[in-house]
Amino acid sequence: MNDVSDSSERPARLLVIAAAAHNPGGVFGAVEVRGAGDADQAARADCIRADAAGAEAAIGLGRKWGVPVVLLADADPQFLKEASCVLAASESAAANCIEAGADPARVVTMPPAVDRSLFTPEGEAAAGPQGRPRLLSLEHDNLDRALQASALATARLPDLRLVQIGGDKPLPAFAERREGLHENELPAWFRWADALLLPARSDGPVDALARALACGTPCITSNRPPMNEVVTDQWDGLLVDPESADEIAQAIRGVADPAVQARLAAPARTSSESFDSTAVQAREAALYRWLLGRQRPMISVVLPTYNRARLVEAAVRNVLSQDYSNLELIVVNDGSTDATAEILRKLSTDLNDSRLRVVSRENGGLPTALNTGFAAATGDYWTWTSDDNAYRPGALSALARELMLDATIGLVYADMLIRDEAGVQRRFVAGPPERLEEGSCVGGCFLYRAELARQVGKYDPGYTLAEDYDYWLRMHRIARFAWLHRLLYDYADAPHSLTRRRFREMQAVQMKLFEREQGGRADWRQRKFEHLLRHASAAKNHGLPGAAMSAAWAAIRQQPSVARGWWALLRALTPMPLLNLSRRMRGLDAG
C-alpha cells in the first residue's frame, strides 16, 4: 500500500464506512466497517470515506475528530455541503453535486477503473459472426431503440451483424446473444467489433465505453452526459440523439465505412488513459495527500491592465477573494493613461494584502505585459486573467488540485460562461486537448506549471491577439493537457473587449498560426475550409455579423460546391434573436 501520510511517524489511516463490502483501492492504511453503527467503535482515523448510507456517521466523526471526510456523490445534499471532498464518477455527477450545494472546489471526479493490461487492442478477437459492420451491444436503458436503428441500417447494410451480451429481449435475425461471459472474455469481443453500440438515455455503463476505447474500439453512444464525457464526437466515436432511431442508424452506416472506422479507432486507446486502473489508484492516493497536506503550492496570477480604471478594482478583489490563500497577484499596469495607477495605489493601501503586487511599465501590449508579470512570479503554478473577467468561487482550488492529483499534467483548463452586454449567456465548452490544433480550446480559465513555462519561454509579441493560442501550441508539444469539464470562469463579451474590438485581426493571426501548424498537410485545403467555418461561427456568436460573413465567403471560395459554406453565410445573415429562437425550438441552449 502507498504511504500518503504527511508525517514520518506512521502511515495515514483511512476509515471506510460502507453499507456493503467496499474496496478503498488499497490506497493507504484502511480500516473498513460495514455500517454506520460500527463506526463509533472504530479507533480515530486521519481521514474518513463513506458511501451514502454512512454519510451521516462520517460527518459526525469528522466533526468529533477534526479530520477530512470524503463522501460519494449519491450522499444526501445536507452532508455533501459539509464534506471535505465529494467523489463523483463523472463531471455530470459532479455538476449535480454542485447544484445540490457542494462546494465546486471540493468535488473531485474519480472515474471508474479499467484494467488496460486486460482491455487492450493486442490479442485475438472473438470468433463472432462474419459480416460488416460488426456491432457489440450491452444491456442499457435504450436497447429497443438501438435494435430498431440497427434494423433500419440493414436496409443499406445487409451484412450487418450484432452481438448482444446478456439480456433477455428478443433479437432480430441479424443479431446473436452471448451469455455467461467471464470478464476475461470481454476484451476479445470488443476487439471483434467495429463499434460498441450503446446509445443509453441516462446513466449508461460508462465503464463499458472506457473498456471499448481501451481495446481500440470506437463507440456509438448518446450525446447526453455522462456518455458524452467519455466519447468525443467524430474523434473516438459518434454521439447520437438516443431518441432518434434514424440518427443512430446513420451513425451505424458511418462506422460501416472502413476509413471512418479506422479514423475513429486510431485515438481510442489514448482516450481511455484517464480510466487506467493504475492511474485511478494514483489519483486517489494523491487526493488523500492533498486532503492531509498542510502546504499548498503557490499560485502566481498575473493581471495585465491598460486604461481600465473602472474595472481593475473588481478584478483584483475577485482574485484575492478566492479560497486558495497561498497565491500572489501581480497586476501589470501596462502604461495606462487614465486613473488606473491611482486606483491601484489606493487599493494597495486599503487592502494591505501582502499577496498583491503592482508592477508598472511603458505600454507594450499584452504579450509584453504578461512576460513582465511572470518575470516577477515566484509561484509553482502560473496563470493570468483579464480585468473584465472573473473566477467563480473555488476555481483556483479546483485547478490546482487537478495538477496536484496528476504529476503528468502540465496544464489544466476549464469551461467558462460567456455573457454579452445584453445579458445573453452561453457556455464555452472547452473541448478535449486533442482538438487544440483545430483552434484554441483552452479558453480563459487555466493553470500551468511554472517549470513547464520556463521550458516553453516567453509569450511572443509577433502573435499579438493570439499570443495565448501560440503559447498553448508550443506548450502542448512537450506537455500533457487536461480538460476539467466544469464551469469555473465568467467571461465578459463586451463591446469594449479586445476580442470584440479587434476580432478580424485576431482571426487573421489565428489563421497565420493555423497555417504554421497545418499548412504542410496533404488535407490542408479541407482543414482550412473547416477552420474558416469555425471562424464564421465564432464571429456570429460574438455579435459580429460582418466578420462572420467575411469568414463564410472565404470558406465558400475554398469549396464553392460544399453546402456548409453557404449555410455559414446564411447563418451570418440571420438575426441573432431568430437563431436563438431556432436553437430553443430544437432543444439547444440559446446563443
Q: What is the pLDDT of residue 335?
A: 96
> pLDDT digit string (tens) for 384-412?
999 999 999 889 999 999 999 999 999 99
Segments in 123-220 forming alpha helices (H): 143-153, 186-192, 206-214
Co-location of 183 and 215 in the same domain? yes
Q: How far apart are CA 42 and CA 132, in angstroms?
A: 58
Co-location of 381 and 489 in the same domain? yes
Of 92, 109, 126, the residue at which a domain comes to its end is 109
**Alpha carbon separation from 37 to 22, 30, 50, 54, 67 (Å, rounded):** 16, 18, 13, 9, 19
Q: What is the pLDDT of residue 33?
A: 66
CATH of the domain at 67: 3.40.50.2000
Q: What is the pLDDT of residue 533?
A: 78
Asked if residue 392 belongs to a domain, the reply is yes
Co-location of 486 and 581 in the same domain? no
What range does the domain containing 448 cover? Answer: 295-498
Co-location of 478 and 529 in the same domain? no
> pLDDT digit string (tens) for 220-239?
999 999 999 899 899 999 99
> pLDDT digit string (tens) for 70-120?
999 999 999 999 999 999 999 889 989 988 988 877 899 999 999 999 999
Of 58, 75, 109, the residue at which a domain comes to its end is 109
Q: What is the pLDDT of residue 501?
A: 63
Asked if residue 212 belongs to a domain, the reply is yes
Q: What is the pLDDT of residue 549?
A: 82
Q: Among 271, 150, 252, 160, which Cα is nearest to 212's?
A: 271
> pLDDT digit string (tens) for 479-533?
999 999 888 999 987 656 556 667 677 777 777 777 777 777 777 777 777 767 7
Co-location of 316 and 194 in the same domain? no
CATH of the domain at 464: 3.90.550.10
> pLDDT digit string (tens) for 27-38?
556 666 655 566
The region of weakest confidence among 1-15, 254-268, 301-315, 328-342 is 1-15
Q: How far apart are CA 486 and CA 109, in angstroms?
A: 11
Asked if residue 257 belongs to a domain, the reply is yes
Which carries the bigger pLDDT value, residue 581 or residue 369? Answer: 369
β-strand 446-449 against 381-384: which pairing, if any? antiparallel
Co-location of 469 and 393 in the same domain? yes
Of 228, 257, 272, the residue at which a domain comes to its end is 272
Q: What is the pLDDT of residue 461?
A: 94
Co-location of 222 and 316 in the same domain? no
Which carries the bigger pLDDT value, residue 53 or residue 210? Answer: 210
Tell me the pLDDT band of 22, cut-offs 50, 70 and 90.
very low
Q: What is the pLDDT of residue 8?
A: 45
Co-location of 170 and 141 in the same domain? yes
Asked if residue 7 belongs to a domain, the reply is no
Count structural domains, the chain: 4
Tell me the pLDDT band of 40, cut-offs 50, 70 and 90.
low
Q: What is the pLDDT of residue 21?
A: 42
Amino acid letter for position 320? L
Q: What is the pLDDT of residue 590?
A: 40
Which carries the bigger pLDDT value, residue 188 or residue 28? Answer: 188
Co-location of 36 and 157 in the same domain? no
Q: What is the pLDDT of residue 5?
A: 44
- Residue 586 confidence (pLDDT) above 60: no
Tell me the pLDDT band of 452, cut-offs 50, 70 and 90.
very high
Q: What is the pLDDT of residue 591?
A: 37
Q: What is the mean pLDDT of residues 543-565?
A: 80
Amino acid letter for position 263? R
The reply to whether omega before 226 is within 30° of 0 (cis) is: yes
Co-location of 486 and 526 in the same domain? no
Q: What is the mean pLDDT of the chain?
A: 87
Q: What is the mean pLDDT of residues 121-141?
A: 95
Contact 251, 135 (CB under 8 A): no
Co-location of 419 and 315 in the same domain? yes
Asked if residue 285 belongs to a domain, the reply is no
> pLDDT digit string (tens) for 246-282?
999 999 999 999 999 999 999 999 999 989 999 998 8
Asked if residue 558 belongs to a domain, the reply is yes
Q: How far apart are CA 412 and CA 448, in angstroms?
A: 6
pTM score = 0.76
Angle (CA) 421-423-429 rounded to 5° is 100
Contact 512, 504 (CB under 8 A): no
- Residue 23 confidence (pLDDT) above 80: no
Provide, rounded to the nearest whole percent, the portion of the chain with pLDDT above 70.
Answer: 89
> pLDDT digit string (tens) for 319-330?
999 999 899 999
Q: Among 176, 212, 207, 175, which Cα is nearest to 195's?
A: 212
Provide, rounded to the nearest whole percent, the portion of the chain with pLDDT above 90.
Answer: 61
Co-location of 78 and 151 in the same domain? no
Asked if residue 55 belongs to a domain, the reply is yes
Asked if residue 278 belongs to a domain, the reply is no
